[in-house]
Structure 1
Amino acid sequence: MPKSYTLYGTSFSLYTGKARAYLRYKNVPYKEVFSSLKVYKRIIVPNTGVRFIPVVKTPDGQYIQDTAEIIDAIETQHPQRPVYPTTPKQRIVSQLFEFYGDEWLLLPAMHYRWNKDNDDYIYGHFGSVVLPGWPAFIRRFLGKKVGSKFKGFVPLLGITEKTIPALEQWYESELLPLLDTHFAKHDYLLGSAASVGDFGLMGPLYAHLYLDPYPSQFIKAKAPNVEAWINRMNVTPIEVGDWLADDAIPDTLLPILQLVFRDHWPVVQDTLSAFSVWSKQNADIAIPRMIGQHPFCINGAEGSRSLTTFSVWKYQRILDTFNGLNEEKKEQVNAFLNACGTDKPFNNPPFQRVKRESNKLVIDKK
């Protein structure tokens, strides 16, 4: 019998939803362990040095934290049903969608979870981390204490009274209908096989925006094809098809990519510029998760949000893919993305490279 992976996470965790969908799609043997406080203390923290989920334990006893590294590690060991396209446009687009799901869809995910009527549901789940199996009212009471820490992050993401109406209009009236139109025609983002971009979207769209009671109404009532895609992503397909031929990108993704470059990309570029300045002044200290505030715009509404350094590492992964292309393929990618509303998307200011070391972000001095 093949050795099994172990997924440490929770049903209501955004990034656990991403990792679980990937493991199911790859059809690799795994078991899931609920990350209670006891599991954090006895397994997760001692083996990773951090308090983040999901964590995957490999059959040979290695513990991997962060979904991007989990996917990379398993792809190496299980090349069947690959999730990274090999053609240039599809590879870049799939990574852009993973980045978009991981970083930008975090905004509606956090807003609808913590600013809407989900308290009994979500506080009960957080309480189960502390005291699994205890009565619901006790779990809700303790869960409120734990969950309030996560709720405190919401304004740091730029989610305030000034930006909430524009955020809701973007998600409910732009992004969700566009995704529904796309999934009416295609099983996955790039055709009949999933890519890493599908798993990036799956995290926020499933754990927060589909399972949480308040936002679930929008998907269930207005986006039946998104709901069908979520259900498809949560099972192991018997057979897997192909990405579109000839490095084609579905026309239905173009307006979504325009949204990416309208709102998310300016934040990415600001982050790179700010990190470039910060790293020159702080080359020998640990990289904090946030390095100050900056003005930003979402769907026409102006606000202020924290500059998150993890975005540098996520962007760097896409940039490395782009820089690995020959000049002809770079021109193909640039021409396509320029048509989506951005001029030379990877023509960013120089910035200090980073790397993950013991599951923490540090300056890469090589």
Structure 2
Amino acid sequence: MSTQFLKAAGSGDVDRAKELIQHIHFQNKKGESGLHVAIAEGELGMVEFLCNAGANVNLQDKKGGNTTIMLTLAQQPPQYLAILEILLKHQPDLTLKDSTGQTALHLAAQYECVDGVKLLLASKSNLDIPDAKNMTPLLVAVGKRNVGIVDLLLTRSHSIHAVDIKGNSALHWGVASLDMTSFLVSKGAKASVNVLGNSPLHAEALRSDATAAWPTDVAQVLLTSFPEIATLKNAKGKTADQLVGGVEETVTPAPSSAKAKTSAGGGRGRKQHVNNDDDGPSAIAIQNAKAAMMARVKERAQKRRSLIPEEDTDLVEPIKPQDALSPPVANTTSSWTMALIVAVVIAFFAAVYAMLEASAAK
């Protein structure tokens, strides 16, 4: 009956859900509760009913450790802002982290949900929390080049001087955008160096086109604000001018203990580049493409979502793409070959019969 409750939650059948309300805290093999299912299907009325009935808004699924609020922000189902408002009325723990160490605010910044960021910040909780790679929500927003979200976070005292696990600051991440670089400088960002001794100017040099004019507009903003970095040498003794259009790493490789994210339906997927991960500012373009891909994957996953009871889903064999696209294999034996084989068989038995007849006559 517990799976019937999930069916009711996903279909918005409040009357049926009331009959099975004793299963309100049930989680299937994937860790999904009725509230998770209702959110994924965009069932606003069901979400409100379940929350008022005492559903635990902090339950996390097993695939990515997503709470109901994280799921809302990542999938953005129909009426997701209204769903988010309902969830926030029931005292969710916004400091909870998913399997990658990200909070709900990280996801709101990642998916550039400005209204979602506003709602989360209105909770008055301290959400300036780093993820497993020491990325704060502000650094994520800078990487997405979303000045509006960065401004919102700064108004809530989110540190502009935060650095990721490789020492990259907001300015390191921001050099991909002239507007972002100018904005960060105006807000007091400093031109610090990362673990390789690279300043934001080094990062801009590495991402610039060797055939284009140097300094770029971004480089000029940095040089005007921080003239001392013009001659600053990194750990390899190179200035930014010597790295223009180069391939030298802007950050160190991720520690072996760091768990890489993979591109899949679970989630927050992540392509090969110089650092073999997506941590460096030189990979911002890749990260943006990744985010778009993740959104498409989540959209497809939502459309595919089935209300088959959890006990039955393991019996359903998914169709592999190659199987769906491959035409049936044709019979390679031609009709004339088959006729010849039949004739040979008949002749063989005729010869045997003749031999038996001859033996009998003797």
Q: What TM-score, normalized by structure 2, do the two folds share?
A: 0.22
Q: TM-score, normalised by structure 1?
A: 0.21
| RCO higher in structure (CA 8 A, sep ≥6) | 1
The structure whose residues are more often helix, as a share, is: 1
